[in-house]
Amino acid sequence: MLFNQYDPLKKKVFRILDAEGQIVDKTNEPNLPNDVLLKMYQTMVLGRTADLKAVQFQRQGRMLTYAPNHGQEAAQIGPMAAITNQDWLAISFRELNAMLYHGVTLEQLFLYWYGNERGSHYNEGVKVLPVNVPIGSQISHAAGIAYVSKIQKKDEVVIAYIGDGGTSHGEFHEGLNFGSVMNVPMVVIIQNNHYAISTPRSKATKAETLAQKAIGYGIPGIQVDGNDVLAMYVATREAVKRAKNGEGPSLIEAITYRMGPHTTSDNPKIYREDTEVATWEAKDPLKRFSQYLLNKSILTAETDQKYHEEANELVLSTFKNVEASGLESLEEIFEHTYAQMPPHLKEQYETLKNVFSKEAQ
């Protein structure tokens, strides 16, 4: 078993591709169809393009605060390729790529960051939870969904994401402890991007690895090169297999790096050196995967350029539609919090409606 070979206490990191896209672990190289590999890469290209443009839109005052994903594409796309449409995704707020691969549309993602809650209304059959800003709550949500799936004997697994800083929050422990005790089909992926806003990982926990936290819950844990999309796919595939065989949760630490700010309200130059960022630029997950595909003759330079051009066009046209969507009605603020609007919200709604009515006159 892969998890047994990579003991997190020994800080062994699972990797299939090196930074130049060369295979360093032929034994574990997955035999994925070309169309799947290209879908993975194309989604990474779209995610990178959408991410860079979203930061620009925010800087232009056309979008609200945004949480960049640049550099974490492989940590998200690899796991999503290892699950099916019947499986669940529980996110925090930095999983744009995972959401795209699992069925959330680019327009819905942009609507959310534009400040329109209609962006959280996904298409029928898309098993993705809404963006979760409270740190760690998604782990409890995932454990709950997985528990229900187990009781109902559904062939489902829940993938949950959390950041390195989030592992120091209570709900990370509570969700994983519950999931382990109840032996639920759940996989938790820690995106260790080295910073919880400005707090470096070394100051967030004294554990030498985040994967070793699994030991306290009696479940397997593994460190994976989070910039290696193939390694992330294989590790998640193994964890999903365990979960669906009734063997309970697994914990995967994806070692990656947040190339941009924590959010567009953050300035990372205050707390990290440019030389550190440059080191991680050389480990770019997109360049690594593209080189692998080029070496295999699965991708050509012409097709690669086409993917980038198409992504750019799609991002620009999609955001143009989002901007044209206009403001939501006053009712939208009040109608979707409860199944039935309680008296105090009805009172607030009527008050505001009268104010706006008078202003309109």
Q: How far is residue 67's CA from residue 47's CA, in Å, rounded to a whole number?
A: 13
Query: Tell me, what's the pLDDT at 72?
Result: 98
Active-site annotation holder among 257, 262, 288, 307:
262
pLDDT tens-digit series, residues 138-195? 999 999 999 999 999 999 999 999 999 999 999 999 999 999 999 999 999 999 999 9
pLDDT of 1 reads: 81
Adjacent-strand bridge partners of 196: 199
Reply yes or no on whether the pLDDT at 355 is more than 90. no
**Is residue 279 over pLDDT 90?**
yes
**Identity (one letter) of the amino acid at 133?**
V
Write down the catalytic residue from 258, 288, 292, 307: 258
CA 56 to chain centre: 21
Does the annotation mark 262 as catalytic? Answer: yes
Give pLDDT tens digits for 81-139.
Answer: 999 999 999 999 999 999 999 999 999 999 999 988 889 999 999 999 999 999 999 99
The pLDDT assigned to 361 comes to: 62
Which stretch of 86-95, 120-129, 265-274, 343-352 has the lowest confidence by average pLDDT?
Answer: 343-352
Query: pLDDT grade, residue 268 (50/70/90)?
Result: very high
**Is residue 337 very low, low, confident or very high in pLDDT (cuts 50, 70, 90)?**
confident
The single residue listed with the structure tokens 């990178």 is: 48
Q: Above pLDDT 70, what percent of the chain? A: 99
pLDDT, tens only, 4-60 = 999 999 999 999 999 999 999 999 999 999 999 999 999 999 999 999 999 999 999
- Please identify, in words, the CATH class of the domain defined by 2-328: alpha beta
The pLDDT of residue 247 is: 97
The span from the CA of 203 to the CA of 199, in Å, is: 6
Q: What is the pLDDT, as a whole number, of residue 359? A: 67
What residues are paired with 90 via a beta bridge?
Answer: 160
Domain ranges for the chain: 2-328, 330-361
* Pick from 225, 235, 125: nearest CA to 187: 235
pTM > 0.75: yes or no: yes
**Residue 2: which of 244, 328, 198, 231 has the closest Cα?**
231
Nearest of 100, 75, 17 to residue 191 by alpha carbon: 75
Q: Which has the closest alpha carbon to 158: 98, 229, 75?
A: 98
